[in-house]
Amino acid sequence: ELGTFGFECTLEEVDLEDITKNQINTIKACTFEDPGTGNCPALERSTFDTGKCLQGIYEDLSAYRAALKNLKDQNVLTTIDEMMKALKSSSRSVPQPAAGLTSFQERMRLCSILHAFRIRTVTINRMMSYLTSPESSM
């Protein structure tokens, strides 16, 4: 939004930053590690680890929660906290008060992270739908 960042925060204006690429995340934890020759990893029911997948989703949410802590919109942070609590009842994530975004570079980075998070939530949503579907039961 123009009012939040001081510029139009559109997907076309920023380079996406994957803040989870060097750690366990939804994509690494919920797909087959060796996709083979194709570029679309397959889910193998015999080797699929539901616990590992849920942990990857939790780690994604945790990483994005930390990166977005300066966001003015506390609704996003509260929603992430609720999702984390649903995944791990022992989570004690307490919303932090939003600090002011001081530089244009910080606002651009936050815009980039928000778009990357929006895309990652699509993946998380699809994995949660898969995990709760009758076909995923063994």
Give residue 62's pLDDT band: very low, low, confident or very high (50, 70, 90).
Answer: very high
Amino acid at 89: S
Residue 38: give the domain boundaries: 4-136
pLDDT at 94: 38
Cα distance between residue 90 and residue 20, in whole Å: 22
Mean pLDDT across the chain: 75
Percent of the chain with pLDDT over 70: 70
Q: What is each CA distance from 105 to 14, 41, 112, in whole angstroms?
A: 11, 35, 10
Question: Per-residue pLDDT for 15 more than 50?
Answer: yes
Q: What is the DSSP string of 22-79?
A: TS--HHHHHS-S--TTSSSPPP-TTT--HHHHHHHHHHHHHHHHHHTTT-S-HHHHHH
- What mean pLDDT comes out for the span 43-53? 72
Considering only residues 68 and 42, tell me which one the structure prediction assigns the higher pLDDT. Answer: 68
Task: Indicate which CATH number applies to the domain containing 20.
Answer: 1.20.1250
Domains identified in the chain, total number: 1
pLDDT surpasses 60 at 138: no
pLDDT (0 to 100) of residue 118: 87
pLDDT of 22 strictly over 70: yes
More confident residue, 72 or 19: 19
pLDDT value at residue 46 = 57
Question: Model confidence at 47, in pLDDT bands (50, 70, 90)?
Answer: low
Q: How far apart (Å, rounded) are the C-alpha atoms in residues 70 and 78? A: 13
**pLDDT tens digits, 65-104:** 998 887 777 888 898 998 898 887 533 443 343 455 567 7
